[in-house]
Amino acid sequence: VHPVEMQDRLQQFQSLCRQRGLSLTVQRQRIFELILERRDHPTADQVYEDVKVHVPGVSRTTVYRVLDMLVDLGVILKAPSPGSSTRYDPMTRHHHHLVCRRCETLIDLEDAALDSSIQLPGAEQTQAFQIESYSIHFYGICESCRSGV
């Protein structure tokens, strides 16, 4: 995340906490910052491994709770998960993913041309289900898996 965007995201997080009456602890803020810096859609365990280096004495349970809280506030998202563990995504604007079948890497994909060519299904197909958003996963093999690294 770009430094300017980082500031915006932190401010948004702070005002959401204020609105909901949640205290903005240094721990919570630091965990959020560390997630914003990642582009690899980490699992909760990977976030914890990262956080414990930067926030001494933090417990796994705390990290898990903060992750739930961040998802609940909508400042991060749960990403599509090719494996069994939930993955977290700091990018909240509309985007898609390239999913490597082999190493389970998730790569962000923004493609305006793709978005403008998509025709959402009509009410007949969705049985009156109200669609709010969509995100596409393209499955395949990433560059490093292809080159056998």
82 within 8 A of 97, measured Cβ to Cβ: no
- Is residue 1 part of the contact set for Zn ion (CB under 5 A)? no
What whole-number distance in Å separates Cα of residue 78 and Cα of residue 44?
A: 11
- Is residue 78 part of the contact set for Zn ion (CB under 5 A)? no
> Position of tokens 């004495």?
57
**The one among 47, 51, 67, 100 contacting Zn ion by CB under 5 A:** 100
- Is residue 50 part of the contact set for Zn ion (CB under 5 A)? no
Residue 143: other Cβ atoms inside 10 A: 10
- Is residue 69 part of the contact set for Zn ion (CB under 5 A)? no
- The interface region with Zn ion, picked from 16-24, 64-72, 106-114, 131-139 by CB under 5 A, is 106-114
- The interface region with Zn ion, picked from 8-16, 19-27, 89-97, 111-119 by CB under 5 A, is 89-97
What residue ranges in 3-92 does DSSP mark as E strands?
Answer: 77-79, 87-89
Residue closer to Zn ion (CB basis): 103 or 123: 103
What whole-number distance in Å separates Cα of residue 85 and Cα of residue 129?
A: 28
- The interface region with Zn ion, picked from 11-19, 42-50, 104-112, 122-130 by CB under 5 A, is 104-112
